[in-house]
């Protein structure tokens, strides 16, 4: 199993709109955000800036995000912080979260301050803001600036999962699969990993495939494992590529015709590693290559170029 970052990245406020919604200032801010989603960055900035300057909280946090990332304007961390602070002062949950994250990580020139981060996350969590529920769960599960409270930590992350937060679901899968923070519960881990995997979180896609391969929390299903490994590979997860090789090697008795393919997956991982976590596959293909003919090794080398 591999692990996601402990903290959810900065986020922009979202809202599901009813059909034919009236254009209130808040809805106008959402329309401006939609322009950003559509890639119309200059138009999005032009639409959001006057709304933020008029004191619309949702627009304030979106404008902070635009300055942070350079969306329709130059990157300006001082202005990003200023607008996040304005949104937080208006108790806008995404603004509270983003400011809390900035304090947790020491962004925008701020000194790291877990007490302040926790205070801001709590305010957003009280409004059921999923990202803050997720980050706050870590504070309690691992005692980051506070006493460990595993019962509260699990309640918070489960609430984030219930609200549909895919990063929290993937993270909970890891925690329950490895026992890192909570007792191992492979059945629940498999359930929540699927949520993260279905939302395209590459390492969760890979980990869910591993659970299918090894029968963790449910039956062994090699066909499903292969499908998820391939999805993770397509998302750029090199570990999943090597997992494909290992799975084909482990099942060589029932898949003898796929050993050239297995070596191709290994060659791909060797060429494209190290993985994001530093896992290096250099030299891992030599022993299995020695079991094949020179012609088969050459074939695997060519196949690796097409993966």
What digits encode the pLDDT tens for the residues 98-133? 999 999 999 999 999 999 999 999 999 999 999 999
Q: Lowest-confidence range among 9-23, 111-125, 169-183, 205-219?
A: 9-23
Binned at pLDDT 50, 70 and 90, residue 52 comes out as: very high
pLDDT at 7 over 90: no
Binned at pLDDT 50, 70 and 90, residue 15 comes out as: very low
What digits encode the pLDDT tens for the residues 143-161? 998 999 999 999 999 999 9
**The token pair that represents 161 in the structure block:** 């999962």
pLDDT at 10 over 60: no
Among the listed residues 62, 30, 61, 57, the one whose alpha carbon sits nearest the alpha carbon of residue 45:
62
Q: What is the mean pLDDT of residues 273-292?
A: 90
Q: Would you say residue 154 lies in a domain?
A: no
- pLDDT of amino acid 22: 66
Q: Would you say residue 272 lies in a domain?
A: yes
- pLDDT of amino acid 13: 54
Domain interval for residue 266: 238-307
Q: Would you say residue 267 lies in a domain?
A: yes
Binned at pLDDT 50, 70 and 90, residue 18 comes out as: very low
Q: Would you say residue 106 lies in a domain?
A: no
Has this prediction a pTM greater than 0.85?
yes
**Close Cβ partners of 109 (under 8 Å, ≥ 6 residues apart):** 77, 78, 81
Q: Would you say residue 107 lies in a domain?
A: no
Q: Would you say residue 283 lies in a domain?
A: yes
Q: Would you say residue 166 lies in a domain?
A: no
pLDDT at 167 over 90: yes
Number of domains in the chain: 1
Radius of gyration of the chain (CA): 23
Dump the DSSP string for 164-200.
T-HHHHHHHHHHHHHTSSS---HHHHHHHHHHHHHTT
Q: Would you say residue 261 lies in a domain?
A: yes
- pLDDT of amino acid 12: 56
């Amino acid at each position: 199993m591999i692990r996601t970052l402990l903290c959810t990245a900065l986020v922009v406020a979202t809202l599901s709109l009813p059909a034919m919604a009236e254009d209130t200032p808040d809805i106008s801010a959402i329309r401006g955000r939609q322009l950003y989603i559509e890639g119309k960055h200059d138009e999005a900035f032009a639409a959001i800036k006057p709304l933020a300057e008029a004191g619309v909280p949702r627009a304030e946090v979106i404008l902070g995000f635009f300055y942070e990332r350079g969306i329709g304007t130059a990157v300006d961390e001082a202005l990003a912080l200023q607008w996040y602070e304005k949104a937080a002062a208006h108790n806008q949950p995404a603004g509270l979260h983003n400011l809390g994250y900035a304090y947790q990580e020491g962004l925008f020139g701020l000194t790291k301050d877990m007490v302040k981060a926790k205070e801001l996350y709590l305010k957003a969590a009280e409004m059921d803001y999923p990202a803050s529920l997720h980050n706050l769960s870590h504070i309690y599960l691992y005692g980051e600036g506070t006493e460990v409270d595993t019962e509260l930590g699990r309640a918070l992350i489960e609430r984030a999962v219930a609200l549909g937060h895919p990063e929290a679901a993937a993270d909970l899968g890891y925690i329950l699969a490895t026992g890192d923070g909570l007792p191992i519960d492979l059945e629940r881990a498999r359930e929540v990993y699927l949520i993260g995997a279905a939302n395209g979180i590459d390492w969760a896609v890979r980990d869910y495939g591993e659970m299918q391969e090894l029968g963790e929390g449910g039956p062994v299903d090699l066909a499903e494992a292969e499908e998820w490994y391939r999805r993770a590979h397509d998302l750029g997860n090199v570990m999943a590529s090597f997992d494909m090789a290992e799975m084909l090697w482990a099942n060589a008795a029932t898949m003898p015709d796929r050993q050239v393919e297995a070596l191709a997956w290994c060659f791909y991982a060797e060429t494209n590693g190290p993985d994001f976590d530093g896992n290096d596959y250099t030299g891992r293909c030599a022993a299995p290559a020695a079991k094949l003919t020179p012609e088969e090794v050459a074939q695997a080398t060519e196949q690796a170029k097409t993966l």
